[in-house]
Amino acid sequence: MTGIKRKALISIALLSLFCGGNLCLADSKEIARDGVYIAYKNGIVRDTGTGLEWIAGPDSDTPWEEAKSWVETLNIGKGWRMPKMGELEGLYKEGSGKRNMTPFLKTNGWWVWSEDFKEATPPHNMAWNFSFYYGTGRWNFSDESTDRRAFAVRPITK
């Protein structure tokens, strides 16, 4: 088991223990605002402009499959998925925070994986990722992990 999977499983177990598998109302307290973004104690960042909620994954180098696995096992409410390229492009704001996005999404990586994946010539498959350094996306080997991160997104829940 890789380090990111172990960290994710521990996080999920703790959230399940304290939250009963659902959104922790005690942790959903608003802690800060930044324009259209609202940060909550539980790590969720709400974008009131797009109607999406975001959460940044573990801040470590992550290949696409591990990013996908982390999103699929996220247990802070329901409805999480990997972001689409247009959604990642919508987060990009040159000069905002340390990574050209709201500082509420805490990451030291410059690239975030999208849901877009395609099988290619073995042993490498390809996945689309977005660079918050350059403000553009590109296909990359899905097993590449250097500076890649996982984000999860969902529509705002009532």
pLDDT given for residue 112 in this prediction:
98
pLDDT confidence band for 119 (50 / 70 / 90): confident
Q: Give the model confidence (pLDDT) of 60-116 as tens digits.
A: 999 999 999 999 999 999 999 999 999 999 999 999 999 999 999 999 999 999 999
pLDDT confidence band for 27 (50 / 70 / 90): low
**Dist CA 144 CA 155 (whole Å):** 28
User: What order of strands is seen across the sheet that includes strand 136-141?
Assistant: 136-141, 126-131, 111-118, 148-149
CATH code that applies to domain 30-155: 3.10.100
Kindly list the distances between the CA atom of residue 97 and the CA atoms of 18, 42, 105, 139, in Å, as whole numbers in the listed order: 31, 20, 9, 25
Q: pTM for the whole thing?
A: 0.80
Q: Which of 12-16, 122-126, 132-136, 146-150 is least confident? A: 12-16
pLDDT given for residue 73 in this prediction:
96
pLDDT given for residue 4 in this prediction:
59
pLDDT given for residue 41 in this prediction:
94
Q: What does the domain layout of the chain look like in residue ranges? A: 30-155
Instruction: Give the largest CA-CA distance in the chain.
Output: 48
